Structures are given as structure tokens and as C-alpha cells.
A and B are shown apart, each in its own frame.
Chain A
Amino acid sequence: MLSTLGEIFAVDQLGFPVLSYTIFIPLLAAVLLVFLKEERQIKQVALMATVFSFLLSTLLLLFFKEGTPDMQFVERLSWIAPLGITYHVGVDGVSVLLVVLTTFLSVLTLLFSWKGINQYFKEYVICLLVLETTVIGVFCALDLFLFFLLWEIMLLPMYFLIKTWGGARRNYASLKFVLYTLLGSVMMLVGFVILYLNHQTVTGTYSFDFLDLLKAPLSRTTQMWVFTLLFFGFAFKVPMFPFHTWLPDAHVEAPTTGSVLLAGVLLKMGTYGFVRFSLPLLPEASVYFVPLMSILGVIGIVYGALLALAQDDIKKLIAYSSISHLGFVILGIFALNAQGIQGGIIQMINHGISTSGLFFIVGFLYNRRHTREISEYGGLAKQVPILAGFYLIISLSSLAFPGTNGFVGELLILIGAMKSNWQIASPAFIGVLLAGAYLLWLYQRTMMGELNNPKNKKLVDLDRIEIGICTALVVVILWMGIYPFPFLRMMDGSVGFITDRMTSAQKMAEGHQPNDTIAMQTTPDSIEK
């Protein structure tokens, strides 16, 4: 029913505001940390906070109602009433897994930081915790103003992470990162404001609320403008070709945890933005821009993969592989069919797991040898067999080997994309091939062959914490790779809602009524039956 969507106030499966707890516990811990001095206490408090937040987010999975596109665990409070701004959070099939991914990776990054951070440890942990809060908030926010606010605040801790604990060119990289993202997000804000004003024009009330905006009809021309503006906001963040140049710099200079969170969750904010806002709010424009978006996605796939082949620096290689992988996500999302969008969402999670894993592995190596040059390594498998074993599984996941999570995402995306437009999607197979090439070649150059570099002969294998981190990742990789159906089922309702809107928009587009104002009548209850 149409009315139910708007009427949900703090309806919560669990009887307590689980999302707010998940979001704000890390922030509370960060505030608490300001008053603590001892490193041991800092670690304890931070770990307790992230673990607690993670456990709360697993409740979301356990109590998630499948098969409905409705927002769940919703909380809605009036905030700045005169402007129609609310504190409105909730998750659906699109975002719930991303929330859990964020809390999961936060625990792992904190564990990784157990040693190796020699200065400003407290400030470092505070940055991580604030970052966690903002990112979870971004994935839960259903109010566009709240979304934008958290999106911007997120830049601060990331900026400090790169700037303070980064590598040699950290000043350049951190500034570039912030400027690029800001440039995009300013345009995104303009787009949001247009939506906001349109809502006022149509209904007479101001609202930034996503669910309200969903019901406000929007002319085709406005949709085009808003799509373009949001595109810049999201495309810089993803990053899509040709807005990607900040990413390799940021990844290379960031500390390992920064890279992990950047690749694992921050990049997903852009692709998430497309699925959450662009597609449902601007269906006609989305349909119109499909060719452009798919082509940019495919260019990203092939271009990122080719550049990855040419790198000497492990982190740079992985950074370019991210561009290629996120090209797949874009390609899948803009296939606009169920398989493509499901594949796109699952690929966001996969990339979060596998690329974070690769960055962790590089981090382990970097902590030991303080270099990221590929040529410095070689033949490590004999010296550090446990690391090599985990590295192999994570590589396979990243190159989409059957039986790992990467394959599921890639298969669905390619099915979806080939179904929607095989002429555009076919070159993506080159990317599939190249992914195998650059990852296995990297593995061969670092792990296989003879151990020639004498500096590597003193390498020690993973310790218990590090094994724990890798094991957690590998469990997820295999679980999602062998039996992905439960994860896909969670998305069904929301994806169905989006594809329905897309189908009706496609019909409109074929109906040759380019300038008519079209009310979007597709509502969730039409899929419920």
C-alpha cells in the first residue's frame, strides 16, 4: 500500500533503534577515547565498540524480512522541521549487506592496527571510528540531507588518515582526494536541492525524505538534469573512468587501513548512490543514460585492467584493479534488469571483501619489508606459506574464480549486461580475462619461483591476529562463493521494486512522449503480490 511507506515511524522488527545503535556506538567510543591515555584501554574500548556494532548489524541480517521492497528497521525523527529535514534511517535489500560489510571490515581494520601504528595511535583510532559511523550512516540514511551531511563528514577522517599516517606523497594525495570528491559532491547537492524544490512545487511541502521524493512526479527534462548532477557526485566517488585519477594516488599513499576502508566501503558509496537514488528517483533519465553509463563502465573495466597490468607497485596495481571491478558494478547496475542489479550489488560486497583482502596482504608484506615494489619480492611462498595460501584464495576471489564470491557477481553482471545490450557488454570479457592475467601474474612475481632477494629470507609468517583477519575474509569468500543464494534472496524485493520502475520507464520511453510529465505510479505494493 502506498500510504504505509510514508507512515512508518520507528517501526522496528526488534523493538529498539538498532540502526542508530549500530551507527553511533563507534562515534560514542571515539568521544570516550578522547579522555583515555593508555594504549591498552584505547584498544579495548575501540575493539568493543566495533565488535558490538558488528554484532548489532548481524541482527539486521537475522531479522531481515525477505521479499519486500519496504525499508526495514526504520527510525524517523523530526530534525529541522521547517526545512523538512528529518533523521530518517532504514535499510532494505540494497543497503543491508553494505552495512554489515562496513561493520565487518571495521573490526578487521582495527585488528590490523594492533601494531604498526607508531605515532598518534589514539587519534588514528578516533579517525577509524568516526569513519565507521559516517559510512554506516551513509548506507542507512533515507533523508537526502542526512545522506549528504554524512557523505561530507566522511571526508574528514579519511583526509586525516592519508595526511597523517600516509606515505611520502601524502599531502598531494590527500588534497587531491578531498578536492575531487568535493567537486562531485557540490554538484550532487545541487541535484538534491532540485529534487527538494520539485517536491515543494508538486506537493506543497518541503521534504528531503527519499520515500516522499519517490512519490513526487518529475518531468523528464528535470530528471535529465538531476541525473547529470548526481552522476558527477557519484562518478567521482566510484570512481568511474574518466574521474578516477585520484584513486591510485590515494590508495598508494594511504596507510593499509585507509586503503582497506577506501576500497572496501568508501568506493561503494558511489555505486550505492546510483542504485539508491539515481535509478528509483530518476527512472526515465536512467533509461536514457544506459548506453553512456554502460560504455563508461566497460571502458573502466578494460582500461583499469590494462593499467593494472603495467604497474610495478602492488598497491597501484590493486587500485587499478578496483577501477576495473567497479566498472563491472556500473555495467551490472545499468543493465537495469534483475540479474544485473543483483550482480552489481553482490559485486560491491565481493569487491569489498576481496580487494580489502588484497590490501591486507600488501599491508602484511609492507609491515615486514617496508616496500611495495613487486620486484623486491619473489618466491615468498616458501618463506611465508600461510600468507601465500591466504593470498592465493583472495586473489582467486578477486579474479572471479568459480567457487569464490567474485564469480557469482561476475556471472550475474555478465548475464544481465549481455541480456540488456550484448554489443556494449561484450568487451567486458576482455576485462574478465585481464583480471586473471594481472592477478595471477602478480601472484607469480611475488610468491612463486626462487627466493632470490636476501632481505626476504628473514620474513616471518602471519601471526595469530593476522591469521584471524584472513580466516574471516576467506570464510566469507567461500560462503558467498559456494552458496550465495541467501544473500541474493535478501535483495529480491528491493531489486524487484527498482526493475519494475525501470520497466515502466522503458515503456514510457518507447511510447514517444519525450516531454510529458509522467507520474511514477509503480509502488512497492504492486510487487508484493
Chain B
Amino acid sequence: MESIESIRPFLAVLVSLAAAGAVLRFDHEPNQREAISIVAGIVKFLIVISMAPAVLAGETFHYTLFTFVPGLDIAFRVDPLGLFFATVASFLWIVTSCYSIGYMRTAKEKNQTRYFSCFAVSVSSALAIAFSANLLTLFIFYEILSFSTFPLVAHKGNQTAFEGAKKYMIYLFGTSKTFFLAALILTYNVAGTLDFAKGGLFNGQGSPLMLTVIYVLFIAGIAKAGIMPFHAWLPAAMVAPTPVSALLHAVAVVKVGVFSVLRVIFHVFGVDLMASLNLGMPTAFFVSFTIIMASIYALTRDNLKARLAYSTVSQLSYIILGAALLTPNSMTGSVMHIANHAFSKITLFFCAGSIYVATHKINISELNGIGRKMPWTMTAFAIGTLSMIGVPPAAGFITKWYLALGSIEANQIPILFVLLSSTVLNAAYFVPIVYKAFFHQPVAVAADAEGNYGIHHDDIKEAPYFVVVPLVFTAAMSLIIGLFPSYFMALTQGVIQ
């Protein structure tokens, strides 16, 4: 495999960082400000995608920025796994930027400049994580991502927002600064390097006990992956404006978590070492618990975003489950699900935001009959749920198919049952929403605490174009990548081989 020395990965990271600065500069000119975001998003995506042909041909890009401390560099490297995640994140940043314009302006949110600049920094960090060549670089940007998303979560500035943001910080900082950092340091002391390598970086060093301890510390330290019991930050972070929840908590932040776990499994430990240490199956069963429990939590939530949040917790664990089963098919399903879940879940969040800006409704029980007033939104929502449940031809089907194959391949019938029951649960908490929205009569709206009735059902209109077009687009995308998965599939094969 050839390695190409190229500044492109660094440029891709830098573009949105520069955009963050430019956004601050145009504080009082919203149109220019948002234009910058979108242009930067497009440039970023083009840089990322320009590396695809070479990576698909089996090459990697490499760029060492500088030596941080003796023996440890800040370095970027583009391999299939990194490019996979970077493609998804940078592409969806463009879509989310458009959506944000519609959402933030319609909902008349304050501090939009801070919002757009923090957003750009977050996307930079996510890309830097995708392109990290070693654990140290990954860790640094992991922390910067936590920090730059804090103002986004606390955006509303009221008590609830601060409480949510505090929980977010405590979970993410607390776990990473103790467990993740400890795992990183132990890895360095055992292996003498932190550079990701195909088949793992340990090269036979370290006692099985030590390696197991390191692995457990990694899993506990990467709370962004939302594995129970370190998942509670995710529902708490739903106080953020919906586009934040959409991009960060369905794509960038949580996917950084699972991406980091995949990096640990594939490129720190390596599949062979994972198998010989018998770490795969315990992980699989551990996350199976998250899959089922989070789905049950989701069933009980009436707040639409909270239900989506728990659904995310559950779906993230699919990705880890697939990797932990350590069979080619399950790993295919795992990596593919990064994209499948991203496109489908962002659609669902976009829809939740669309309903909010159009009607100010946040609870599922209030959505009766809304489908006929907001047909585009609710159709997109329906497509998203089909993908989540895993109905062909939506993208989620591919995941479930490969995961099921993988669990049979690994001779783990209990895991197959986990997948099946989770599918049933997915259907149970998603289908009623769609059904009610299209087929139930609207109920009379009760007055809220201040005596307002909200918007009358007859006055509900579809949300503005800037909101609706992106969500229809992502819904379409989750069908398209279900039908034509070849690009992502090719990258996935690059990860596994």
C-alpha cells in the first residue's frame, strides 16, 4: 500500500476553521456569513472527495504537521475508514448549513454568529478526528470537539440548556480525561507508538491482562459512542437547537465516538488481537444490552427529540456490535451503518426541527394529523423511519442484513435475536408516529401554562424551503445509498481487507 505525502487532509480540516474565523468577521451581515459557511462546506467536501480515487485504489494520504512532544507527532492520514467518515460528515455539513439558515431564522434564535462559528469549529474537529494518524491527534481533537460543541448545546442560554450542557460536559470530559487519557498513555507505554496501523499497533507487546485493561479503559473513555452506562449526556444534549442535534448528535459527535471505537478495534488492537484476547464477544453482548435498553427507553418518551436521541443511542451500538463480532460481514454492516444511520437519522432530526419551526410542537402526542398539513416533512420522516427499522430498499436494510449475516457467521444466535427484537422495538416506537401523523384526526389542543393555544391545526403550513429542501434531500439520499451503496461499500471493503 502506497503512502502519498499530501497537505490535502490538513487543508480539509483547515477550511472550516478558517470559515469559523470569517463567520465571526461578518457578525452583522447574515447573508455573507451563511454564504461563507456553505462555500466552505462545498470546498471542504470537494477536498475530501478529491482523495477518494487514490484511497479507493488502495493508497493512503499522509501529512505530518509537527512534532508535538518527542516521539509523538500531530499527523494526519487518510485511509478508507477515515475517508468514509469524512465524506459523510463533510457532505452533511453542507446540507445542515442550508437547513440551519432556514431553521435559525424562522425560529428567531439569538447569537447566530456564535452558532455558525462553533459549528464550523466542530466540523473541523470531526474531520481532524477522521484523518488522525495517531491516537494523540485523535484525542486532542476529540477534546476540542467536546469543547466547541458546548456553546451549541447551551445555545438557548436558559436554565434547562445549562443543565443539559453541564451534563454533556461532565460525561464527555469526565470519561475522556480519566479513562481515555489513561488508555492512551498505557498504550504508549506498552507499544511505544500511537500510530494507527492495519492489524493493530501493539505488535505482540503487552500482557493479555494489561491489554484487556487498556481496552476496557478505551471503551469507558469514549463516551461519545453512547454506550450505556455513559449515554445520559446524549438525551440531555437535546436541549440544543435542532440542527445541532441533527448534525452533531446524529452525525459528527456521536459518530466520532463510534469512529474512535472502530479505530481502537481495527487499528489499535487489530482484529486478530481482539479475537485472541476474546474481547469481541463480551463487547458484543455488552452493547446488545444498550441496543435493547435504549429502544425500550425510546418507547417511553413522548418528546420527539428525546425519542430520537434514545434511538440514536441504540443505533450507535449496532456499529460497535458489528465491529465486535469480528467477522467480515458484520464489520461491513458496522462501517456501512455510519453512513446509513447518519443520513437517516439526520432526516428524522431535520423533520423534528421542521415540525418545531412550523408548529412549535415538540411532543409526539400532539402530532396527530400533521402529515396532511406537512406532507413533505412527514413523508421524509417516514422514509427515515423505514431506514431505521431496516426495511428495503432504505439504507438501514443493508446494515441489518450484514449484521444478521455476521452474527450467523460468528455462530452467535443470541445476537441475531437481539437484532430481531431491536427491529421490532424500532418499529414499535417509530411506526405509530407516522401512522398518527397521517391517519389520526387532530386532537383539540389544550392551552399551555400561559393560556396560549399555540398554532391552530388549520393554520399549520409546511416549513420554509430552506428547511424542507434539505430534509427531502437527505431522505432521498437514504434511499439512494440503500440502492447504490457502491462508493461506501468500496471504502468499507478497504477497511476490512
Contact = CB atoms under 8 A, between A and B. Distances in A.
Interface of A: 338-339, 342, 396, 400-403, 407-408, 411-412, 414-415, 418-419, 422, 426, 429-430, 432-433, 436, 440, 444, 448-449, 483-485, 488-489, 492
Contact of B182 (A338, A407, A429): A429
Interface stretch (B43-51, B137-145, B364-372, B423-431): B137-145
Contacts of A407: 140
B241 to A, nearest CB: 19
A485 B178 CA distance: 25
Contacts of A338: 70
Nearest to A444: B166
Contacts of B189: 415, 418-419, 422
Nearest to A413: B185
A137 to B, nearest CB: 31
Contact of A415 (B67, B177, B188): B188
A484 B69 contact: yes
Contacts of A396: 147
A422 B186 contact: yes
A342 B189 CA distance: 16
B173 interface: yes
A5 B444 CA distance: 92
Contacts of B166: 444
A448 B144 CA distance: 20
Nearest to A433: B178
B104 interface: no
Interface in B134-170: 136, 139-141, 143-144, 147, 162, 166, 169
Given A401-B147, A415-B189, A429-B182, A436 B177 contact: yes
Contacts of B141: 402
Contacts of B68: 408, 483-485
B186 to A, nearest CB: 6
B186 A429 contact: no
A381 to B, nearest CB: 11
A484 B144 CA distance: 18
Contacts of A339: 69-70
21 contacts: A338-B70, A400-B177, A402-B140, A402-B141, A402-B144, A403-B140, A403-B143, A408-B69, A411-B136, A411-B185, A415-B189, A418-B189, A422-B186, A422-B189, A429-B182, A432-B177, A432-B181, A436-B177, A484-B68, A485-B67, A489-B70
Contacts of B147: 396, 401
Contacts of A448: 162
A376 to B, nearest CB: 20
Given A401-B143, A415-B185, A485-B69, A432 B169 contact: no
B206 interface: no
B39 to A, nearest CB: 26
A488 B185 contact: no
Given A411-B69, A414-B181, A485-B67, 17 more contacts: A339-B70, A342-B70, A396-B147, A402-B139, A402-B140, A403-B144, A408-B68, A408-B69, A412-B69, A429-B182, A432-B177, A483-B68, A484-B69, A485-B69, A488-B70, A489-B70, A492-B70
Contacts of B140: 402-403, 407
A414 B173 contact: no
A489 B66 CA distance: 13
Interface of B: 66-70, 136, 139-141, 143-144, 147, 162, 166, 169, 173-174, 177-178, 181-182, 185-186, 188-189
A485 B177 CA distance: 22
Interface centre among B67, B69, B166, B173 (most CB of A within 10 A): B69
B162 A449 contact: yes
B2 to A, nearest CB: 28
B169 A440 contact: yes
A339 B70 CA distance: 9
A483 B66 contact: yes
A253 B376 CA distance: 67
Contacts of B139: 402
A447 to B, nearest CB: 12
Given A401-B147, A402-B140, A440-B169, A433 B177 contact: yes
B173 A436 contact: yes
Contacts of A484: 68-69
Contact of B143 (A402, A418, A485, A488): A402
A488 B69 contact: yes
Contacts of B185: 411, 414-415, 418
Nearest to A412: B69
A418 B185 CA distance: 7
B74 to A, nearest CB: 9
A401 B139 CA distance: 11
Nearest to A485: B67
B178 A430 contact: yes
A305 to B, nearest CB: 12
Given A402-B140, A449-B162, A433 B174 contact: yes
A440 B166 CA distance: 10
Nearest to B213: A422
Contact of B174 (A342, A418, A436, A485): A436
User: Which of B147, B173, B177, B188 has most chain A Cβ within 10 Å?
Assistant: B177
Contacts of A429: 177-178, 181-182
A401 to B, nearest CB: 6
B406 to A, nearest CB: 35
A498 to B, nearest CB: 15
A418 B70 contact: no
**What 6 A-B pairs come out closest when comparing CB atoms?**
A402-B140, A402-B143, A419-B189, A429-B178, A433-B178, A485-B67
A433 B223 CA distance: 15
Nearest to A426: B182
Contacts of A411: 69, 136, 181, 185
Contacts of A483: 66, 68
Nearest to A495: B70
A396 B186 CA distance: 24
A338 to B, nearest CB: 8
A411 B135 CA distance: 13
B295 to A, nearest CB: 31
Contacts of B174: 433, 436
B317 to A, nearest CB: 25
